[in-house]
């Protein structure tokens, strides 16, 4: 037990008036090992081969009776390589590639025309790669093309978002995006320090970001979020605090503060990073503590894991009211009955399971030219998967699990049914990160930093013979 804390266990509800608990480096270090992020359960690395032409019950059959739908489009192109990147992307300056890729995405969308109920699209997300690699004409062609197949809406009742690289986003494109119904903008900042930017090959001035942030606000984007990364080469506590101070001046509605996982043996781009510039594990922990403290002292609400929001942002309100959900883009306010993912490597889901497209552009294009879909793997959920999926999402989004609901679902007492899981969680109970009563298992205020660790205890696939080393470290 960490002697920095008393043993009082307080149930957690993210809110502005709730102080964010102090953490010690020792506690963070103990839970810093590799762990999935649980944007899905089972995690995508468990998927098995699956084909779009397979007969019988396939998870996409459930698209026929959805009442709300999410759409995701993966745009894999980027103009230059950021050395920290672990995404599925193609570095190119040849715009023609993007144009023909878009033809394929729209063709793939046609495959869903007969398979999905005409349900309102409550969420549209363009991710990448760099979605703003597309020129305004192609952004319009994409959204209008999707609108011919799916029931796209505009307004405050929908969440249409795009991941934007501030280096590749013109203010005219903000007009186009608003006109197409986009109301959320996510800007990849990472760090403002020039030396860090040089070390990761991603040069972007605070002035560029400021102009885009102000431009997006003037045009009525309801929420602007920044992605920041700690643990990058050349970063230290002082430099990161300066970045955070600049971020606080710009006051984005939401902030994701991600940990950089340096895995050069797995991601080729990361071999371009000078390993001598990498901060040590203890420096990374110090950075995480300093940055989080700075954000929360400035009034941001810590939602859990690595997400922060201004107290007046809908995400912070939703967290306080227990309305958060989670999907492949992280926390969301508008969970739909199903998600259709289009493009190379995109993942879809329905209540019955997951399915994923070919990863490489070549295989994706080849599949679309053939059967018109590119599904290569996926997962059909069993009853046990569904229970654990629900339980993990409850923990990660609502910070509690209602034991009586589990008992009603399984006909077995929680402590009997999850004996092994509760044993795995003992250190978290002892460290005051989790608590329980007769009726619930809950995350404490301090435990919000360790949601992945708590969820992992219920992941039945993680506790077989396989190792966890391929997952990114928590810190």
Does residue 89 touch ligand SF4 according to CB under 6 A? Answer: yes
**What is the rounded CA–CA span in Å between residue 300 and residue 303?**
9
C-beta contacts of 5-8 below 8 A and 24+ residues apart: 5/432, 5/446, 7/432, 8/432
Angle between helices 383-393 and 403-410 (to 10 degrees): 170
In angstroms, what is the minimal distance from the CB of 81 to ligand SF4? Answer: 5
* Strand-pair partners of 332: 325
**What is the rounded CA–CA span in Å between residue 143 and residue 208?**
26
Does residue 82 touch ligand SF4 according to CB under 6 A? Answer: yes
**What is the rounded CA–CA span in Å between residue 259 and residue 9?**
27
User: Which of the stretches 122-130, 235-243, 332-340, 460-468 binds ligand SF4 when contact is defined by CB under 6 A?
Assistant: 122-130
Burial pattern 395-428, b for ≥16 Cβ within 10 A else e, equals bbbbbbbbbeebbeeeeeebeebbeebbebbeeb
The dihedrals phi and psi of 253, each to the nearest 5 degrees, come to -70, -35
CA-CA distances (angstroms) from residue 360 to 88, 91, 101, 345, 392? 8, 13, 12, 7, 30
Tell me the helix, strand and coil percentages in the chain, rounded to 5: 40, 20, 40
Does residue 129 touch ligand SF4 according to CB under 6 A? Answer: yes
In angstroms, what is the minimal distance from the CB of 73 to ligand SF4? Answer: 14
**What is the rounded CA–CA span in Å between residue 433 and residue 440?**
14
In angstroms, what is the minimal distance from the CB of 85 to ligand SF4? Answer: 3
User: Which of the stretches 10-18, 78-86, 362-370, 376-384 binds ligand SF4 when contact is defined by CB under 6 A?
Assistant: 78-86
User: Which of the stretches 81-89, 191-199, 206-214, 386-394 binds ligand SF4 when contact is defined by CB under 6 A?
Assistant: 81-89
Rule CB under 6 A: which of 249-268 touch ligand SF4? none
Does residue 14 touch ligand SF4 according to CB under 6 A? Answer: no
The secondary element (H helix, E strand) that includes residue 104 is helix 95-113
Does residue 233 touch ligand SF4 according to CB under 6 A? Answer: no
Does residue 204 touch ligand SF4 according to CB under 6 A? Answer: no
Question: Binder to ligand SF4 among 12, 43, 130, 243 (CB under 6 A)?
Answer: 130
CA-CA distances (angstroms) from residue 141 to 90, 147, 176, 292? 21, 10, 11, 40
Question: Binder to ligand SF4 among 29, 87, 97, 119 (CB under 6 A)?
Answer: 87
In angstroms, what is the minimal distance from the CB of 193 to ligand SF4? Answer: 17
Rule CB under 6 A: which of 184-203 touch ligand SF4? 188
**What is the rounded CA–CA span in Å between residue 471 and residue 60?**
28
Does residue 131 touch ligand SF4 according to CB under 6 A? Answer: no
SS3 125: strand
Does residue 394 touch ligand SF4 according to CB under 6 A? Answer: no
**What is the rounded CA–CA span in Å between residue 340 and residue 388?**
22
User: Which of the stretches 7-15, 26-34, 128-136, 341-349 binds ligand SF4 when contact is defined by CB under 6 A?
Assistant: 128-136
Question: Binder to ligand SF4 among 40, 42, 161, 165 (CB under 6 A)?
Answer: 165
The nearer residue to ligand SF4, 62 or 169, going by C-beta atoms, is 169
User: Which of the stretches 38-46, 125-133, 312-320, 323-331 binds ligand SF4 when contact is defined by CB under 6 A?
Assistant: 125-133
In angstroms, what is the minimal distance from the CB of 162 to ligand SF4? Answer: 13
In angstroms, what is the minimal distance from the CB of 89 to ligand SF4? Answer: 4
In angstroms, what is the minimal distance from the CB of 83 to ligand SF4? Answer: 9
User: Which of the stretches 75-83, 171-179, 285-293, 316-324 binds ligand SF4 when contact is defined by CB under 6 A?
Assistant: 75-83
Residues in contact with ligand SF4 by CB under 6 A are 78, 81-82, 85, 87, 89, 128-130, 165, 188
């Amino acid at each position: 037990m960490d002697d920095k804390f008393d043993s009082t266990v307080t149930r957690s509800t993210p809110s502005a008036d709730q102080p964010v608990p102090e953490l010690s480096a020792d506690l963070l270090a103990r839970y810093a090992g590799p762990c999935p992020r649980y944007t899905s359960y089972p995690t995508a690395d468990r998927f098995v081969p699956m084909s779009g032409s397979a007969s019988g019950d396939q998870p996409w059959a459930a698209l026929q009776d959805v009442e709300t739908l999410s759409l995701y489009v993966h745009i894999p192109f980027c103009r230059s390589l950021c050395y920290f990147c672990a995404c599925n992307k193609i570095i190119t300056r040849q715009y023609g590639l993007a144009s023909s890729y878009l033809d394929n995405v729209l063709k793939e969308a046609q495959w869903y025309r007969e398979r999905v109920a005409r349900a309102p699209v409550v969420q549209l997300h363009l991710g990448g790669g760099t979605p703003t690699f597309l020129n305004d004409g192609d952004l319009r062609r994409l959204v209008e093309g999707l609108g011919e197949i799916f029931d796209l809406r505009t307004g405050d009742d929908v969440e249409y978002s795009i991941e934007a690289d501030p280096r590749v986003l013109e203010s005219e494109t903000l007009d186009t995006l608003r006109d197409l119904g986009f109301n959320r903008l996510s800007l990849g900042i990472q760090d403002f320090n020039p030396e860090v930017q040089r070390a990761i090959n991603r040069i972007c001035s605070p002035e560029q970001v400021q102009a885009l942030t102000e431009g997006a606000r003037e045009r009525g984007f309801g929420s602007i979020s920044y992605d920041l990364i700690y643990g990058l080469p050349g970063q230290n506590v002082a430099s990161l605090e300066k970045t955070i101070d600049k971020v606080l001046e710009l006051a984005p509605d939401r902030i994701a503060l991600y940990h950089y996982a340096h895995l050069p043996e797995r991601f080729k781009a990361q071999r371009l990073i000078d390993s001598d510039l990498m901060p040590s594990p203890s420096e990374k922990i110090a950075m995480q503590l300093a940055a989080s403290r700075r954000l929360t002292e400035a009034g941001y609400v810590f939602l859990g894991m690595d997400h922060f929001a201004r107290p007046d942002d809908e995400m912070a309100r939703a967290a306080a009211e227990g309305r958060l959900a989670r999907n492949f883009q992280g926390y969301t306010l508008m969970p739909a009955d199903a998600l259709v993912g289009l493009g190379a490597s995109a993942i879809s889901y329905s209540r019955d399971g997951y399915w994923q497209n070919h990863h490489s552009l070549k295989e994706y294009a080849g599949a679309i030219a053939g059967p018109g879909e590119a599904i290569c793997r996926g997962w059909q959920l069993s009853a046990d998967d569904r229970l654990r999926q629900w339980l993990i999402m409850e923990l990660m989004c609502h910070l509690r699990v209602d034991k009586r609901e589990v008992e009603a679902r399984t006909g077995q007492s929680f402590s009997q049914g999850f004996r092994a899981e509760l044993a795995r969680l003992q250190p978290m109970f002892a460290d005051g990160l989790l608590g329980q009563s007769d009726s619930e298992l809950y995350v404490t205020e301090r435990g919000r930093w360790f949601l992945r660790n708590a969820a992992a205890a219920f992941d039945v696939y993680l506790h077989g013979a396989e190792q966890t080393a391929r997952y990114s470290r928590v810190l």
